[in-house]
Structure 1
């Protein structure tokens, strides 16, 4: 999955006017790229152009939500050089890697499908992940700590798997975290716990905010 990072990082370049933190933009761009893998079909044209447009539009939308940013959403139209079949060396290299790793992309798409199904049982939609992810690094670390506690203690894990809920009072008492905080980030904590328990190596290594769950 690391092979895709240069292409994704390139899409963030020039988006500083959105006033979003770089790590937040990168994580959002990665989530959008994963969604593109899931949603792409040949009818949507060139895969890289499709991803490029989706990523930039998603970042603009987030900028509008966070900072009241106003700008036109980029229309999905191939550039003249793309129409003529002329792309930069960097894009050509990434494009070749994407096609060469088509089987790996299919495997990742299957991971996304399986994770989406798992999250659905808890009332969590894949599309919610960018929204429910805490903005502050400290909050993300606390959520990871809570998720680890759920997975490592059999009683907590059993309650999550069987009753589809977190033992919030017990977790608050054990970890010294307020029950309100656990409730506020409940969906994100559950998502991390599922990632910890399940077989999702591609997603965990691909998303910076989930790498810590390895």
Structure 2
């Protein structure tokens, strides 16, 4: 079993409601995938079977013990399957998978594959959503400086060496709190002071004003970490 998951479950067993909530949220794609597989049809969160699966997953958290000899995801799969079968029997329904003989190896193979696939999809979806939210906040901030997000590609210097020079200048300005404060307060670049930081002309600074502001804001605010790691700064890194 993944030792990190094992540590989380131990924290939950010690009473951490916060860790329980995080684990349930992380495993939601896994639960839905398992329920859909067992029911042999696509299940959504509005379906009763999904609720049964989520309740069963919570039960699996409470009951899991490493001495059982199963990985947590394999154990959770087993509990979800059993609770769904119980539910269908109570309601007088026939579950297609009841006629299948399940072995521990079958559980493990399906569980691992389902968990891996679901987690990858979940992480991609979460990363895309968080980046979109971050870009939205960034765009709102840029507009305070008279810049629009969609303009950045157009105002980016066409030559690599020019982009590198602007990136270096933006980083350097960010090392001077008084210059950064001037930008944040006035929404204008401190052109005169910046001329002393690099061998560029006033005309060059004014021509690249929007690009520089966009870069400085990215380097200034920790909230824009995903943008920093996603946007290519000409291979320079951060």
TM-score normalised by the chain length of structure 2: 0.47
Tell me which residue corresponds to 2:148: 125
Deviation digits for residues 111-145 of structure 1, max 9, x if unmatched?
A: 11111011011011011111011111111111112
Tell me which residue corresponds to 2:8: none
* 8 Å contact kept, 1:144–1:213: no
Is the aligned partner of 1:158 residue 2:198? Answer: no
Aligned residue pairs total: 122
* 8 Å contact kept, 1:144–1:189: yes
- CA apart distance, 1:174: 3.1
2:215 to 189, 192, 211: 192
Aligned residue runs from structure 1 range 131-146, under 5 A: 131-146=154-169
2:170 to 141, 147, 161: 147
Is the aligned partner of 1:104 residue 2:153? Answer: no
Q: For CA contacts below 8 A with separation 6 or more, give which structure has more relative contact order.
A: 1
Aligned residue runs from structure 1 range 26-175, under 5 A: 97=120, 101-175=124-198
Is the aligned partner of 1:178 residue 2:201? Answer: yes
Distance in 2 of aligned mates of 1:100 and 1:118: 27
Distance in 2 of aligned mates of 1:110 and 1:206: 14
Distance in 1 of aligned mates of 2:138 and 2:235: 16
Deviation digits for residues 179-207 of structure 1, max 9, x if unmatched?
A: 11111101001100000011212211112
Distance in 1 of aligned mates of 2:178 and 2:237: 20
Tell me which residue corresponds to 1:4: none
Bigger radius of gyration among the two: 2
Tell me which residue corresponds to 1:204: 228
Aligned alpha-carbon RMSD (Å): 2.5
> SS in structure 1 opposite 2:174?
helix
**Residue range with higher mean Cα deviation, 97-106 or 108-117:** 97-106
TM-score normalised by the chain length of structure 1: 0.52
